[in-house]
């Protein structure tokens, strides 16, 4: 009964904690859920196990234990070098984060969605990398034909240092935003790439730049 009460308190606190908006859905980052979990369950443990690890893919299992009793588990799989910087350099770390997120979700700390924000952001990045770069057509307020020579001046290579830190760069309206865990510990690298902190939305952002194609 006590554990159920503590879980309810944790869930209520998560409702007031920051979320990341992805494709119109709110996701609570794994790091946020871990902080809330530790606050109300300080003696609980989160254990991760490497189930499989080779040159092709990684599988990690996470277990949440209270008083040495397993109360929730989660699995995650990542494919190495599947077209994005994250899994090319940090597949194990990415997989472990996703696995912990799913274990927390199984425990009841999903933050509104079962998948972790890291999982969803990574999936979006994979889709973007698998598609050819397309010309971005901008909407003209004077009803003129869009300028088909205008392309983004932001490529994945521009932010390799951020991807190597396990962060994800996403488009949101006219801005690029940063998604990932433990963002503030990496703020120096984020600032170095020209991103600024928006206290209103609680996000690092950078206006999308465009250049005329040759």
What percentage of the chain has pLDDT greater than the value 90? 22
User: pLDDT by residue (tens digit) across 22-66?
Assistant: 667 778 888 889 999 999 999 999 999 999 999 888 999 999 999
Tell me: pLDDT of 126 over 60.
no
pLDDT score at 73:
95
Cβ–Cβ under 8 Å, residues 165 and 158? no
Tell me: pLDDT of 131 over 60.
no
Ranking 58-67, 153-162, 163-172 by mean pLDDT, the lowest is: 153-162
pLDDT score at 89:
76
Answering whether pTM is above 0.75, one says no
Q: Cα(189)–Cα(178) distance, rounded to whole angstroms?
A: 12
Tell me: pLDDT of 195 over 80.
yes
* Sequence-distant contacts of 79-84: CB under 8 A, at least 24 apart: 80/55, 80/56, 82/126, 83/126, 83/129, 83/130, 84/122, 84/125, 84/126, 84/129, 84/156, 84/163
22 vs 7, higher pLDDT:
7
pLDDT score at 164:
77
127: closest CA among 168, 176, 178, 76? 168
Q: How confident is the model at residue 133 (pLDDT cuts 50, 70, 90)?
A: very low
pLDDT score at 165:
81
Quote the mean pLDDT of the chain: 75
- What is the set of domains in the chain, with CATH numbers? 2-127 (3.30.390), 151-212 (no CATH)
Tell me: pLDDT of 104 over 80.
yes
25: closest CA among 129, 131, 119? 119
Q: Cα(25)–Cα(178) distance, rounded to whole angstroms?
A: 16
């Amino acid at each position: 009964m006590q554990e159920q009460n503590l879980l309810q308190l944790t869930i209520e606190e998560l409702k007031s904690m920051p979320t990341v908006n992805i494709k119109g859905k709110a996701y609570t980052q794994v790091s946020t859920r871990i902080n809330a979990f530790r606050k109300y369950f300080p003696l609980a443990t989160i254990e991760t196990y490497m189930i499989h690890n080779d040159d092709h893919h990684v599988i990690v299992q996470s277990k949440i234990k209270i008083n040495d009793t397993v109360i929730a588990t989660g699995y995650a799989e990542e494919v190495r070098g599947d077209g994005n910087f994250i899994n090319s350099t940090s597949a194990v770390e990415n997989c472990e984060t996703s696995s912990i997120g799913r274990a927390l979700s199984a425990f009841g700390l999903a933050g509104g969605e079962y998948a972790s924000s890291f999982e969803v952001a990574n999936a979006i990045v994979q889709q973007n990398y698998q598609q050819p770069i397309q010309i971005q057509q901008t909407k003209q307020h004077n009803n003129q034909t869009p300028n088909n020579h205008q392309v983004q001046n932001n490529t994945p290579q521009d932010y390799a240092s951020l991807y190597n830190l396990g962060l994800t760069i996403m488009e949101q309206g006219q801005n690029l935003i940063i998604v990932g865990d433990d963002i503030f510990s990496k703020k120096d690298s984020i600032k170095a790439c020209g991103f600024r902190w928006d206290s209103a939305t609680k996000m690092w952002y950078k206006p999308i730049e465009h250049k005329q194609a040759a």
